[in-house]
Each structure stands twice: as C-alpha cells, then as structure tokens.
Amino acid sequence: MKKSYPLPLISFCRKDSWENSGLPNAILQDLKGKSEIKIESYDSKNISTSKDHLYKDFLYKIMNPQTQAILFKNNYLPKVPKIVFLEDDSHLKELKKEDYWDDILGFICAEKNRDQIEGRACFFFGEITKISDFLLKNIFQKVEKDPLHGLVLLGGKGKRMKRDKGALDYFGKPQSEHVYKLLSTLCDDVYVSCRNEQQESEHLKNLKGKLLPDQFLEYGPMGGILTALRKEPEASWLVLACDLPYVSEDLLKSLIKRRNPLKMATCLENPEKGWPEPLCTIYEPIAYKNFLQYLSVGIECPRKVLMNSNIETLKIKDKLALQNVNTPEEFRRAKTELQANI
C-alpha cells in the first residue's frame, strides 16, 4: 500500500467509540515495550476528509518532530492503514461498500482461531501480542532498503599501546584497512572515524576519501559514533573498533542477521563481563537523540547509554571474540593467536 503521509500510521476503527475499551491502549503499550519508536495515540474523532475542521490538528500531530509513528482511533482518511473491529457478518458486507475497504489490513473479532477474513489478517480481541507483532512487521518495521553503513573506530590516543592501534598489523595490512575491508563486505558504505590530527597518518593513505573526522570533540568513541549518526541521520551504523581484532566476519554476519531495528541498538554481550559491547554494535537512527540526551547530563560512556536503553543484546560463547588489545604485549600475543588460525 502506497503511503501518502510522512510517518507510519495505523487506525483502529469500530462503529462505536473506543472510550469504554482499553484495547487500543493495551496494544499501544505492548508496541512501546517492543520498540524504540516513539508512538503516539490520537483519538481522531471519526475524521474522514481533509475538509474536516480537525484535519489541521491531524497534520500537526504527524508533523511533530518528537513523534515517529501514530496509532489512531477511528481515523477514516484515505491511505491510512486500518484494523477494524468486526461486529458481525452484516458489518462485513457494509465494510465492502466503504471507500476505505482497500485500506483495511486486518480485523479484530470475537471469534478465536480464525486466520483470515477476505484475505486479510484476523485476530481474536484478546490477542494483544499477536496484533502488536503484526503491526510492527507491517507498519512500523524499518524497511529493508534503508542503508546500513559501517564505521571503523580507530580508537583513542594509544597511550598504553604507544602507537596508533589502527596502524597495527595483524593480517598483513594496517588494522584500519583490515576493518574497513571487513565492513565493506557487509555494509552499503563504510567510513573511518578519526581525530583531526590522524587524517595524515600513513596507515590511512588508502582510505583518504572515507575519513570522517570527529565533530564532537573530546568525547572518545561516543564522539565518533555521534559524528556518523549526524552525517547520515536516516542510516543505521555497524560500528567496529580497531582494538577488537578477534571479531570475525561470521560474528558480524550473525549480528546483522539477528538485528532488531526497532530497538536503539543491537549489541553483543561481553561473555566475561556480561555487559553490552558498544564498539561492536549496530546503532539505529534513534541513537543520535538518545546519546545527546545522555551527554546533556554528563554521561559520555556509550556502554552506560546502552545499559540504560531499549536494546537487543545477543549472547556469544567465544570469550576471545570481544577481547580488546591495549598494550604491546597483548598485541604480540593476539597476532600470534590470529596468525595460527589463518
């Protein structure tokens, strides 16, 4: 169904008012528990035409920058997808004559175990979870064509390593170049996050056109991630740091396969420490606003943001997979182990 409005919309319609029913609100709460999308509820009072005096209020609601999706009650405007509470068979005959028949995605009824009506989904009114799952998939789910970009994080100033971690050679090339090529096999486009003074580094000479200097200075990894999210606000970002050399292509493919675009981020859980690893994570566009909110109260650690946000966390068994390398001794050991497995 072609959308003619700038936000994902769904309308719950019934003959009578929803005032004595908690069903739409129950579905809304279930949706909010599953998604990071800011979904608002709006009783549109049977608005059915752009000439209605309430239409301006409707436009204000969908243009509000704080709103990302809207669940309506009894909105009959064309091209707004609808779920209809089906009263009886005679009601169905009436619906077939309505102008909005083609906008109906499914029905809610009093019958159990009924899969479809007229080729449309059908739900028992008590199946809150099934209804919200259906809406997430068909209305609010992020479309597959949205880009997934890759971001190579070069790391900090390398005080403990005594050199730039992106220049280290584990696989016959600088690690910055290795991670760039690794992400390039999985992402639509890839950039390299760096500090301004790193742009002329020798190990980045082959990546000149893909450098993304920090615009949020002195914030460490969060500054690099925010810079990327700001550059392409409609894209999602697969972030991988150069000091995680054990991360494999198979692990990243698993992360992408199990990604939940309705959450702020999809992370791997550190198998030793039990916390989310922020430097091998897929961040969704909503993360930009969330990070800024935490920065405003002095929290600069992306891990703390993840630990207090609506995220998808994936457990892994390999204890080495997320082992970071910070010292010359750790580098030599890691290189020996990685070369032995090639």
Tens digit of each residue's pLDDT (9 = 90 or more) over 178-216: 999 999 999 999 999 999 989 999 999 999 999 999 999
Q: Ranked by mean pLDDT, which of 10-14, 19-23, 43-47, 148-152 comes out on top?
A: 148-152
CA 184 – CA 150 distance, rounded (Å): 7
Same domain, 99 and 130: yes
Same domain, 170 and 318: yes
Same domain, 106 and 231: no
Exposed/middle/buried for residue 70 (C-beta within 10 Å: 0-12, 13-18, 19+): buried
Query: Does residue 3 lie within any of the structural domains?
Result: no
**Which pLDDT value is given to residue 5?**
66
pLDDT band, very low/low/confident/very high, at 64 (cuts 50, 70, 90): low
Domain boundary among the residues 140, 171, 192 is at 140
Please name the amino acid found at residue 205. Answer: K
Q: What is the mean pLDDT of residues 55-80?
A: 79
* CATH number for the domain harbouring residue 102: 3.40.50.300
Dihedral (C-alpha) 247, 249, 251, 252: value to the nearest 10 degrees?
100
Q: Considering the entire predicted model, what is its pTM?
A: 0.70
pLDDT band, very low/low/confident/very high, at 3 (cuts 50, 70, 90): very low
**Which pLDDT value is given to residue 2?**
42
* CATH number for the domain harbouring residue 243: 3.90.550.10
Q: Is the pLDDT of residue 142 over 60?
A: no
Q: Is the pLDDT of residue 140 over 80?
A: no
**Which pLDDT value is given to residue 158?**
67
CA 59 – CA 147 distance, rounded (Å): 28
Same domain, 51 and 127: yes
Domain boundary among the residues 140, 170, 195 is at 140
Give the position of tokens 């029913």. Answer: 21
Cβ contact 335:293 at 8 Å? no
Domain boundary among the residues 120, 140, 160 is at 140
How many domains is the chain partitioned into structurally? 2
Looking at the chain, list the stretches that DSSP marks H as alpha helix, in order from N- to C-terminal side. Answer: 23-34, 55-63, 89-96, 128-135, 175-184, 221-231, 249-257, 287-295, 302-307, 328-340
Same domain, 152 and 123: no
Backbone angles phi, psi at 306, to 5 degrees: -60, -40
pLDDT band, very low/low/confident/very high, at 4 (cuts 50, 70, 90): low
108, two tokens: 């809610």
Range of the domain at 69: 9-140
Task: Report pLDDT digits (tens) over 72-124.
Answer: 899 998 889 999 999 888 999 999 999 999 999 999 998 887 888 999 999 99
Query: Does residue 4 lie within any of the structural domains?
Result: no
CA 45 – CA 16 distance, rounded (Å): 11
